Amino acid sequence: MMYILSQYLQFPFVQYAVIVGVLIALCSSLLGVTLVLKRFSFIGDGLSHVAFGAIAIASALNLTNETPFVMVVTVLSAILLLRTGQNAKIKGDASIAMLSVGSLAIGYLLMNLFSTSTNLSGDVCSTLFGSTSILTLTKGEVWLCGIMSLFVVAVFILFYNKIFAVTFDESFAKSAGTNANAYNLLIAVIIAVIIVLAMNLVGSLLISALVIFPALSAMRVFKSFKSVTICSAVLSVICALIGLLIAIVAGTPVGSTIVAVDILAFALFTVIGIMK
Partner 1 sequence: MAQITCENLILGYDGKEILRNLNFTVNAGDYLCIVGENGSGKTTLMKALLGLHTPMQGEITFGDGLKRNEIGYLPQQTLVQRDFPASVEEIVLSGCQGRCGLRPFYNKAEKRLAAENIDKMGLKGFEKRCYRELSGGQQQRVLLARALCATQKLLLLDEPVSGLDPHVTTEMYALINHLNKMDGITVMMISHDMEAALRYATHILHIGKRMFYGTRDEFLRSEVGKYFTLMYGGDKA
User: Among 121, 150, 172, 267, which residue sits at the site for partner 1 (rule: CB under 8 A)?
Assistant: 172
Query: Are 168 and 181 a contacting pair, CB within 8 Å?
Result: no
Number of residues forming the site for partner 1 (CB under 8 A) = 30
The reply to whether 38 sits near partner 1 by the rule CB under 8 A is yes
The reply to whether 165 sits near partner 1 by the rule CB under 8 A is yes
Residue 83 or 174 with smaller CB distance to partner 1: 174
* Interface region with partner 1, contact rule CB under 8 A, candidates 8-16, 121-129, 151-159, 189-197: 151-159
- Residues of span 203-222 touching partner 1 by CB under 8 A: 219, 222
User: Among 72, 88, 176, 271, which residue sits at the site for partner 1 (rule: CB under 8 A)?
Assistant: 176
Rounded to a whole number of angstroms, the minimum distance from the CB of residue 146 to partner 1 is 23
Query: Are 75 and 192 a contacting pair, CB within 8 Å?
Result: yes
* Interface region with partner 1, contact rule CB under 8 A, candidates 10-18, 24-32, 131-139, 223-231: 223-231
The reply to whether 226 sits near partner 1 by the rule CB under 8 A is yes
The DSSP secondary-structure symbol of 135 reads G
The reply to whether 86 sits near partner 1 by the rule CB under 8 A is no
User: How many CB atoms within 10 Å of residue 61?
Assistant: 11
Closest by CA position to 85, among listed 21, 40, 32, 33: 40
The reply to whether 173 sits near partner 1 by the rule CB under 8 A is yes
Burial (CB count <10 Å: 0-12, 13-18, 19+), residue 86: exposed
CA distance 156 to 65: 28
Question: x/- binding map, residues 17-36, to partner 1, per CB under 8 A?
Answer: ----------------x---
Of the CA atoms within 13 Å of residue 273, those in its CB half-sphere come to 15
Cα–Cα distances (Å) from 5 to 1, 13, 267, in that order, read 6, 13, 27
Angle formed at CA 52 by CA 241 and CA 40, multiple of 5 degrees: 70
Binding site for partner 1 (CB under 8 A): 33, 37-39, 157-162, 164-165, 167-169, 171-178, 219, 222-226, 228
